[in-house]
Amino acid sequence: MKNENLYNYILGIADNSLILGQRMGELCGHGPSLETDIACTNISLDLFGQVRSYFQYAGKIAGDGRTEDDIAMLRKEREYKNVLLVEQPNTNFAYTIGRQFLFDVYHLAFLAELQKSSDLTLSAIANKCIKEVSYHERFSSDWVKRLGDGTEESNQKMQDAINDLWTYTDELFHLTEADKATVAEGIGVDVTKLKDNYYKSVSNLLTEARLQTPESKWFQKGGKQGVHTEHLGYLLSDLQYMQRTYPNMEW
Amino acid sequence: MTATEQHIDETLIPILEQVSDPEIPVLSIMDMGVVRSAVIVNNSVKVEITPTYSGCPAMDVIGDDIKKVLKEAGYESQVDLILHPAWTTDWITPRGRKALEDYGIAAPLEAEADKDVLLHGKRIVKCTNCGSQNTRLVSQFGSTACKAQFQCEDCQEPFDYFKCLK
DSSP letter at B71? H
**For residue B30, is it left (φ>0), alpha (ψ between -120 and 50) or beta?**
alpha
Over the stretch A224-244, which tens digit does the pLDDT of each residue have?
999 999 999 999 999 999 999
Q: Which of A40-44, A192-196, B79-83 has the lowest mean pLDDT?
A: B79-83
What is the reported pLDDT for B95? 94
pLDDT score at B142:
83
pLDDT one-digit tens code per residue, A104-131? 999 999 999 999 999 999 999 999 999 9
Show the domains of chain A with their CATH numbers. Answer: 4-212+221-245 (1.20.1260.10)
Residues from chain B contacting residue A120 (CB–CB below 8 Å):
84
- Residue B109, pLDDT > 90, answer yes
Residue whose C-alpha is closest to residue B157's, from B132, B124, B122, B121: B132
A116 Cβ under 8 Å from any chain B Cβ: no
Residue B99 CA to residue B104 CA, distance in Å, equals 9
CA distance A181 to A31: 41
Q: What single DSSP character describes residue A221?
A: -
- Between positions 46 and 105 of A, the ones with CB within 8 A of B are 46-50, 52-53
Is residue B117 scored above 70 in pLDDT? yes
Residue B4's pLDDT band, with cuts at 50, 70 and 90, is low
Kindly list the structural domains of chain B, giving each domain's residue range(s) and its CATH number in brackets, ordered by start.
7-91 (3.30.300.130), 104-162 (no CATH)
Cis-peptide into B85, omega within 30 deg: yes
**pLDDT band for position B3 (cuts 50, 70, 90):** very low
C-alpha to C-alpha distance for B5 and A133, rounded to whole angstroms: 26
Q: Model confidence over A31-90: pLDDT tens digits?
A: 999 889 999 999 999 999 999 999 999 999 999 999 999 999 999 999 999 999 999 999
Q: C-alpha distances in angstroms, A242 versus A73, A74, A251, B70? A: 9, 11, 11, 35
Q: Which chain A residues contact residue B83 at CB under 8 A?
A: 53, 121, 124-125, 127-128
pLDDT > 90? residue B140? no
CB atoms within 10 A of CB A244: 12
**Per-residue pLDDT, B166:** 82
**Count of A-B CB contacts under 8 Å:** 72
